[in-house]
Amino acid sequence: MSTLTWTDELALQHPQMDATHEEFVDLLAAAEAALAGPEDALLAAFDALVEHTVGHFGQEDRWMAASGFAPENCHAFQHQAVLGVMQECARRARGENTENGQPDFEPLRLAVGELAIWFPQHAQQMDAALAQHLDSVGFDPATGQCARPLETADAISGCGGSSCS
């Protein structure tokens, strides 16, 4: 498993998004480091990552809603799917949703590695498109307002990138 570390290649030149992404990478690295230790420490590290991700995805979803994305856009759908998998992995590690009620850490262990593969692609495609879109409509993360809002008829149902409308 290769460790994901924060690099300039992951930066999107959107300070608030970059700070949130850097925190995600750091928490994922902590979960990866915890793979070698006791299971309770691994679960605690993964729980911290899940908690961060709830806020992280929620923030981006709110930005999309405020800046002209349709409620059913594919970027928000990907957030929902990934977060759902993460939460299920944590539940199974607690022994919830398992056949015998015993903890099953294998899905969580796999998820740590898969998230390290998934995140750079998501950030460099969907989040980069979101950052560009936010700039194009003059979105202010502090107020949640757009200087140049889109018309309702122009709601974005894709990820906001040129290859996904």
| Structural domains for the chain | 14-154 (1.20.120)
List pLDDT tens digits, range 74-114. Answer: 999 999 999 999 999 999 999 998 889 999 999 999 999 99
Question: pTM value?
Answer: 0.91
Residue 30 has a pLDDT of: 97
How confident is the prediction for the chain on average, in pLDDT? 91
pLDDT band with cut points at 50, 70 and 90 for residue 159: low
**Which amino acid is present at 65?**
A
Report the range of poorest mean pLDDT among 38-42, 104-108, 150-154. 150-154
Cα separation, 81 vs 3, whole angstroms? 23
Residue 45 has a pLDDT of: 98
Are the beta carbons of 134 and 112 closer than 8 angstroms? no
